[in-house]
């Protein structure tokens, strides 16, 4: 199972718990503020903001929180200034990691990410060491129980999708980043529910990990994702269904 597919399924299961902790709210609020600052507060003309707002609605964030986050980004309300940070790193088994975050203190975040990696079997690498392996793409997941594969494929490809893969519980659609919203809207117009639609970074090659390495890697990725300053962690691992089931069963 590919790194993105595996990690996406884990994050789906974690979403409810994250929301209760408030961790998901904190991350999405930061993203909305940063997107509004970078591209303005109108989601019709700012696709990054629109995607962040969709994520906020997906975790039932109150509209007031969303509006305030936008106003902080546009300067209508006072707020903390966040800068984007990226880290190239390696995980157990030689897996390449590309970590993206938003922080108000880059030095603090760098030190904490380095410490997390060291504790969990990973290591920080130099700038560009792993990022070149990843390409920005649009990613949409649709529950398999909600639509026939042939029908979904016809709708998605006609709207501009590049590829469709079938995983355990979801169809996974890959798009050019500029076509993400068009494909998502085409699917929803047919009354087909979309589980998630987001910008992602897909690897050009994958590394097979098994056994202890696979378990340790999942622990590292969860620890990184749980860090308040980290928005996304991308990896190029490939895990077998057998190992995936063992990890999920032990979670």
- For 169-221, what is each residue's pLDDT tens digit? 889 999 998 899 899 999 999 999 998 888 889 999 999 999 899 999 989 99
User: What is the predicted pLDDT for the residue at 57?
Assistant: 87
Instruction: Report whether 36 contacts 48 (CB < 8 A).
Output: no
User: What is the predicted pLDDT for the residue at 185?
Assistant: 93
Does 29 fall in a domain? no
Q: How many domains does the chain have?
A: 1
Reported as a pLDDT band with limits 50, 70 and 90, residue 13 is low
Does 145 fall in a domain? no
Coil vs helix vs strand at 221: helix
- For 126-171, what is each residue's pLDDT tens digit? 999 999 999 999 999 999 999 999 999 999 999 999 999 888 788 9
The larger pLDDT score, comparing residue 230 to residue 199, is at: 230
- Residue 109, judged by CB atoms within 10 A of its CB (0-12, 13-18, 19+), counts as buried
CA distance 249 to 251: 6
Residue 112: which CATH number? 3.30.70.980
Does 99 fall in a domain? yes
User: What is the predicted pLDDT for the residue at 114?
Assistant: 97
Q: Residue 2 above 70 pLDDT? A: no
User: What is the predicted pLDDT for the residue at 168?
Assistant: 78
**pLDDT mean across residues, the chain:** 88
Q: Residue 99 above 60 pLDDT? A: yes
Q: Residue 226 above 80 pLDDT? A: yes
Q: In this structure, what token pair is assigned to residue 115?
A: 């410490």
CA distance 206 to 88: 16
User: What is the predicted pLDDT for the residue at 51?
Assistant: 87
Reported as a pLDDT band with limits 50, 70 and 90, residue 1 is very low
Does 180 fall in a domain? no
Q: Residue 97 above 60 pLDDT? A: yes
Does 87 fall in a domain? yes
Nearest to 101 by CA among 115, 112, 90: 112
Does 107 fall in a domain? yes
Does 90 fall in a domain? yes
Q: Please report which residue ranges of the chain form alpha helices under DSSP H.
A: 3-21, 23-39, 47-58, 63-74, 106-119, 149-159, 180-189, 211-226, 241-250
Does 233 fall in a domain? yes
The sign one gets for the Cα dihedral 201, 207, 211, 213 is negative
Count of CA atoms in the C-beta half-sphere (13 A) of 35: 26
Please state the rounded mean pLDDT for residues 72-84: 90
Predicted TM-score (pTM) of the model is: 0.83
User: What is the predicted pLDDT for the residue at 15?
Assistant: 54
User: What is the predicted pLDDT for the residue at 195?
Assistant: 86
82-87: list long-range contacts, CB under 8 Å, 24+ apart: 82/30, 82/33, 82/34, 84/34, 85/109, 85/110, 85/229, 86/131, 87/113, 87/124
User: What is the predicted pLDDT for the residue at 9?
Assistant: 56
Range of the domain at 220: 83-132+205-237
Q: Residue 241 above 80 pLDDT? A: no
Nearest to 174 by CA among 160, 191, 158: 160
List Cα–Cα distances, 104 to 10, 80, 82, 107, 162, in angstroms: 28, 7, 5, 9, 36
Neighbours of 189 (CB within 10 A): 10
Q: Which residues of 35-56 are buried (b: 16+ CB within 10 A; e: fewer)?
A: bbbebebebeebbbbbbbbbbb
- For 14-53, what is each residue's pLDDT tens digit? 555 555 557 788 899 999 999 999 999 999 999 889 989 9
Q: CA 21 from chain center: how many Å?
A: 18
Instruction: Report whether 74 contacts 54 (CB < 8 A).
Output: no
Please state the rounded mean pLDDT for residues 55-60: 85
Please state the rounded mean pLDDT for residues 52-66: 89
């Amino acid at each position: 199972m590919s790194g993105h597919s595996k990690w996406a399924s884990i994050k789906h299961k974690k979403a409810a718990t994250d929301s209760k902790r408030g961790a998901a709210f904190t991350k999405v609020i930061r993203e909305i503020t940063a997107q509004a600052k970078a591209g303005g507060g109108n989601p019709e003309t700012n696709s990054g903001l629109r995607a962040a707002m969709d994520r906020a609605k997906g975790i039932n964030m109150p509209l007031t929180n969303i509006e305030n986050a936008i106003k902080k980004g546009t300067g209508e309300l006072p707020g903390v200034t966040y800068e984007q940070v990226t880290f190239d790193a390696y995980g157990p088994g030689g897996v390449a990691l590309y970590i993206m975050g938003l922080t108000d203190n880059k030095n603090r975040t760098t030190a904490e990410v380095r410490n997390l990696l060291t504790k969990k079997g990973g290591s920080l690498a130099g700038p560009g060491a792993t990022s070149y392996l990843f390409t920005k793409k649009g990613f949409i997941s649709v529950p398999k129980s909600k639509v026939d594969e042939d029908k979904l494929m016809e709708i998605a490809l006609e709207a501009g999708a590049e590829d469709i893969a079938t995983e355990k519980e979801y169809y996974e659609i890959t798009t050019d980043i500029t076509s993400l919203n068009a494909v998502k809207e085409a699917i929803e117009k047919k009354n087909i529910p979309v589980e998630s639609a987001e910008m992602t970074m897909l690897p050009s090659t994958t590394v097979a990990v098994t056994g202890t390495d696979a378990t340790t890697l999942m622990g590292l990725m969860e620890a990184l994702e749980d860090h308040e300053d980290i928005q996304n962690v991308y990896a190029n691992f490939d895990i077998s269904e057998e190992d995936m089931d063992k990890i999920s069963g032990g979670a």
